[in-house]
Amino acid sequence: MNRFRHVTRILLATLREIFDEAAYARFLYRKQLAVSPASYAAFLQDFEEAKTRRPKCC
Amino acid sequence: MNRTVSIFVWLMVGLLGVAAVAVIAVHRGEPINALWLVVAATCCYALGYRFYSKFIAAKILALDALRATPAERLENGRDFLVTNKWVVFGHHFAAIAGPGPLVGPVLAAQFGYLPGTLWVLVGAVFAGCVQDFVILLFSVRRDGKSLTEMAKEEIGRVGGFVAYTAVIAILIILLGVAALIVVNALKDSPWGTFTIAMTIPIALLMGLYLRRIRPGKVLEVSVLGFILVLLAIWGGRWASLNPSMAQAFTLQGTTLAKLIIVYGFAASALPVWLLLAPRDYLSTFVKLGTIALLGIGIVALHPTLQMPALTRFVDGTGPIFAGKIFPFAFITIACGAISGFHALISSGTTPKLIARETEARMVGYGAMMAESAVAVMAIIAACVLQPGIYFAINSPAGVVGQTATAATATVSSWGFPVSAADMEALAHAVGEQTLFNRTGGAPAFAVGMAHIFSQSLGGATVMALWYHFAVMFEALFILTILDAGTRVARFMIQDALGHIYKPLGRTSWYPSILTTSALIVSSWGFFLWQGVKDPLGGINSLWPLFGIANQLLATVALCVATTIIIKMHRARYAAVTLVPLAWLVAVTFTASWHKIFDPNPRVGFLAQANILAAGPATMATARLVFNNRLDAAVTAVLVVMVALVLIESVRQWLGVLTGREEARVKESPFVMTRLAEERG
């Protein structure tokens, strides 16, 4: 049961990383902000160039 | 585990692997079960990972768990971040898995299931996984530097310049050929076109939802987007049955090409949050889910392969793309075996997330094995189809004939019986007007996937839904690559132009955005238009061009890796990268020679240009002549540039080995990790 919980946690963490939810959480922590449209807009601005510069394979 | 038990278990895995490979290699006549491919692949990957990657990690790279990685030393909470190895693995896999391992193996199935399968297994274990692993580790030891920077530092300015140019060339050719695959999948398909058209408002809606209603809830909005896409697939059926809607969404290849070019420009110039990011999330969500579903489907349903092990087309007369098994099978399948593009990702985001050097093995070597497994699934999806159907779908009208009767007669004359009635019934079953002349691999993959799933999940009644789900999945995937690739290329051009005139390098300056977007879109748009107008279907000339460019980038990556290994005083183990390098040089240079100079007009660009030039002179002919000569020139330029890198690398190796030059690697200094203490 513990192992299942561990695997689920890792899987969720992976999905949160792939889908940039973790990056947003880190941004909020770093800037000491709360979840809001304004903070998300600031995150997108901060994150935009890094995200679009990431190559994705063929 | 007890040593004796361990030896026994690995011996059994080895024997099982040998038996499975022997069955797929030697078996002739009766169709074989797809499980043999699954077993062979599983055993090869297990042995490769357990023994070969461990050997590389210990003897060549000397992975050091005590050495702090850039994620730890330079941690900034943004790019550099200590991350759980499984999370990095997933992130890396999501970035390397694209349409390549699905499309390439489907096209190469024209040689039979055997060549593609063997190349995917051997190529991945001894070349692709090795490249991704060593480049990842070398980048980790250089503060996460890119392949271009490492090539410049270790080989010289020529290496850096060639790597940069090869990346731009690959991106442009890739985007052109990717767009062509979408066009060929959607032309004359109101259902498919409607579904894909709907993904644009769905992505816009997701962008607004994320920005205004539930900021940052990406997984949640991706699930909602996925549900909307499923509704769009359902709606596509209605659109195809409604006469006015069907007419509106039945588009020719040229119209679709124009729309995709306009879309590519808009997606590159619009704010990221509005279209690109939500599409990217949606496509990743669908991609990971579909790959998992396909894997489970193949293992659970273990279909029978109808394609023979080898077909008559190993002689180079294949209808899908012309050229002999060597070298063309090895450039057609790139991503599933070795892909130079992966070296960009292994030296991009991933090295900045790795917590310990020892984890590079699982992430670099392991993720490429997973990618290779996706390629095996694609081979299975293509080969479960009756060969006659596979060739009727994938062959261009210029080869098999314009009418259904002519096409089926031609395919049947090759020894792969198929009738016009069979094709009509299949087209009806998947909700299409016709499945002839659907070059590009995506429709054949979609039919194969629908065939596998319709055996259990819903039966034949929902085959059309499965088919359109697969088409949507591939088209969504490819259009996302189109958005993201155009932007990446745009940034690269802007970076370079910024050295000439500073404002051009500003990624937020609109005149620069519009100019560089137009430059990139018109470049890949040119290749797309060329493909759409090509009487041989476009894939015949463009996919090999893309394969050559991609494998040439792998050649550059392996040159960098070999140079570093020799400089690390590990020359006696240099064969680990040198052998795949030699193989890739043989493959890409031979393929390039054929594509430029082969006298067969279906293979050689110049031969085709000469034949066209000798015929009646029309505007269309003049354009085709120009296109073929341009393709020949592009191939020649790429080969010459890579030859320069090779010469420069060999000069470096000889200098170091003979003691004329100092063997100095440009690694960051050793810093003891703190993570080891924290973890005890």
Q: Which residues have a Cβ under 8 Å from the Cβ of B484 and sit 6 or more positions away?
A: A52, A54, A55, A56, B276, B280
Output the pLDDT for position A3. 85
Map residue B145 onto helix, strand or coil. coil
Residue A13: name the closest of B112, B180, B88, B344 by CA: B88
* Whether the Cβ atoms of residue B645 and residue B559 lie closer than 8 Å to each other: yes
CB contact under 8 A, A56 and B334: no
Q: Which of A21, A37, A56 sits opposite B219 (nearest CB)?
A: A21
d(CA B318, CA B544): 13
Map residue B672 onto helix, strand or coil. strand
Residues β-bridged to residue A28: none
Mean per-residue pLDDT, B392-410: 94
Question: In the predicted model, is pLDDT for residue B679 greater than 70?
Answer: no
The percent helix, strand, coil of chain B (3-state, each to 5) is: 75, 0, 25
Exposed e or buried b for every residue in B379-407, given b needs 16+ CB within 10 A? Answer: bbbbbbbbbbbbbbbbbbbbbbbeebeeb
The 10 Å Cβ neighbour count of residue B234 is 12
Is residue B645 classed exposed, middle or buried when 0-12, 13-18 and 19+ CB atoms within 10 A define those classes? buried
Residue position matching structure tokens 């795949």: B580
Tell whether the torsion through CA atoms of B30, B35, B41 and B43 is positive or negative: negative
CB contact under 8 A, A56 and B98: yes
Residues of chain B in contact with residue A27, where contact means CB-CB under 8 angstroms, are 77
The 10 Å Cβ neighbour count of residue A37 is 14
Map residue B673 onto helix, strand or coil. coil
Q: Which domain holds residue A40?
A: 2-53
Q: Which of B95, B99, B219 sits opposite A54 (nearest CB)?
A: B95
* Whether the Cβ atoms of residue B376 and residue B38 lie closer than 8 Å to each other: yes
Q: Which residues have a Cβ under 8 Å from the Cβ of B16 and sit 6 or more positions away?
A: B39, B43
Largest distance between two CA atoms of chain A = 41
3-class DSSP string for B483-540: HHHHHHHHHHHHHHHHCCCHHHHCCCCHHHHHHHHHHHHHHHHHHHHHHHHCCCCCHH
Residue position matching structure tokens 């092990």: B309
Is residue B16 classed exposed, middle or buried when 0-12, 13-18 and 19+ CB atoms within 10 A define those classes? middle
Residues of chain B in contact with residue A31, where contact means CB-CB under 8 angstroms, are none
Residues of chain B in contact with residue A10, where contact means CB-CB under 8 angstroms, are 84, 86-87
Q: Which of B10-24, B167-181, B436-450 has the highest mean pLDDT?
A: B10-24
Reported as a single tens digit per residue, the pLDDT across B639-648 is 998 899 999 9
Locate the chain B residue with the closest alpha carbon to A34: B215
Q: Dig out the tokens for B243 from the structure.
A: 């006469």
Give a yes or no: residue A58 inside a domain: no
Largest distance between two CA atoms of chain B = 79
Question: In the predicted model, is pLDDT for residue B383 greater than 70?
Answer: yes
Locate the chain A residue with the closest alpha carbon to B102: A58
Residues β-bridged to residue B354: B83
Output the pLDDT for position A28. 94
d(CA B373, CA B511): 44
Q: Which CATH number fits domain B3-189+250-657: 3.30.1360.200, 1.20.1740.10, 3.10.20.30, 3.40.50.720?
A: 1.20.1740.10
Give a yes or no: residue A17 inside a domain: yes
Residues of chain B in contact with residue A19, where contact means CB-CB under 8 angstroms, are 218-219, 222, 281, 284-285
Map residue B559 onto helix, strand or coil. helix
- Whole-angstrom Cα Rg for chain A: 14
Residues of chain B in contact with residue A29, where contact means CB-CB under 8 angstroms, are 77
CB contact under 8 A, B77 and A43: no
CB contact under 8 A, B90 and A14: yes
The nearest CA of chain A is from the CA of B439 a distance in Å of: 18
Reported as a single tens digit per residue, the pLDDT across B170-192 is 889 888 988 998 898 899 889 99
Residues of chain B in contact with residue A3, where contact means CB-CB under 8 angstroms, are none
As for how many domains chain A has, the answer is 1
Residues of chain B in contact with residue A26, where contact means CB-CB under 8 angstroms, are 77-78, 81
Residues of chain B in contact with residue A44, where contact means CB-CB under 8 angstroms, are 211, 272-273, 277
Q: Which of B98, B178, B219 sits opposite A15 (nearest CB)?
A: B219
Q: How far is CA B359 from CA A17, A22, B479, B598, in A?
A: 17, 21, 33, 46
Map residue B571 onto helix, strand or coil. helix
Residues of chain B in contact with residue A6, where contact means CB-CB under 8 angstroms, are none
Banded pLDDT at B677 (limits 50, 70, 90): low
CB contact under 8 A, B89 and A14: yes
Reported as a single tens digit per residue, the pLDDT across B441-451 is 889 999 999 99
Locate the chain B residue with the closest alpha carbon to A7: B86
Pick the residue with more confidence: B622 or B632?
B632
Q: Dig out the tokens for B123 from the structure.
A: 């190529």
Reported as a single tens digit per residue, the pLDDT across B90-116 is 889 988 888 888 889 999 999 999 999
Q: Dig out the tokens for B530 from the structure.
A: 């060329």
Question: In the predicted model, is pLDDT for residue B663 greater than 90?
Answer: no
Map residue B402 onto helix, strand or coil. coil
Reported as a single tens digit per residue, the pLDDT across B478-500 is 888 887 788 888 888 888 888 88
Give a yes or no: residue A26 inside a domain: yes
Reported as a single tens digit per residue, the pLDDT across B336-348 is 999 998 998 899 8
Question: In the predicted model, is pLDDT for residue B525 greater than 90?
Answer: yes
H-run or E-run covering B569? none
CB contact under 8 A, A51 and B277: yes
d(CA B302, CA A55): 35
Question: In the predicted model, is pLDDT for residue B571 greater than 60?
Answer: yes
Q: Which of B218, B276, B348 sits opposite A19 (nearest CB)?
A: B218
Mean per-residue pLDDT, B26-38: 90
DSSP B58-99: IIIS---TTBBPHHHHT--SSSS--B-HHHHHHHHHHHH--S
CB contact under 8 A, B272 and A39: no
Q: How many CB pairs under 8 A join A and B?
A: 128
* Whether the Cβ atoms of residue B397 and residue B436 lie closer than 8 Å to each other: yes
Q: Dig out the tokens for B489 from the structure.
A: 């290329």
Interface of A with B (CB under 8 A): 10, 13-21, 23-27, 29-30, 35-37, 39-41, 43-44, 46, 48-58
Output the pLDDT for position B676. 65
* Whether the Cβ atoms of residue B529 and residue B183 lie closer than 8 Å to each other: no
Reported as a single tens digit per residue, the pLDDT across B277-301 is 888 888 888 888 888 889 999 999 9
Output the pLDDT for position A47. 79
CB contact under 8 A, B335 and A58: yes
Reported as a single tens digit per residue, the pLDDT across B190-212 is 999 999 999 889 988 998 999 88
d(CA B24, CA B19): 9
Q: Which of B96, B276, B339 sits opposite A52 (nearest CB)?
A: B276
Question: Angle B438-B439-B443 (CA atoms, 0-180°, nearest 5)?
Answer: 55
- Residue B174 dihedral angles phi and psi, to the nearest 5°: -60, -45
Residues of chain A in contact with residue B91, where contact means CB-CB under 8 angstroms, are 14, 17-18
d(CA B551, CA B563): 18
Locate the chain A residue with the closest alpha carbon to B490: A53
Residue B493: name the closest of B150, B165, B159, B158 by CA: B165
Residue B545: name the closest of B130, B178, B264 by CA: B178
The nearest CA of chain B is from the CA of A10 a distance in Å of: 7
Output the pLDDT for position B198. 93
Locate the chain A residue with the closest alpha carbon to B172: A58
The 10 Å Cβ neighbour count of residue B459 is 10
- Residue B161 dihedral angles phi and psi, to the nearest 5°: -65, -45
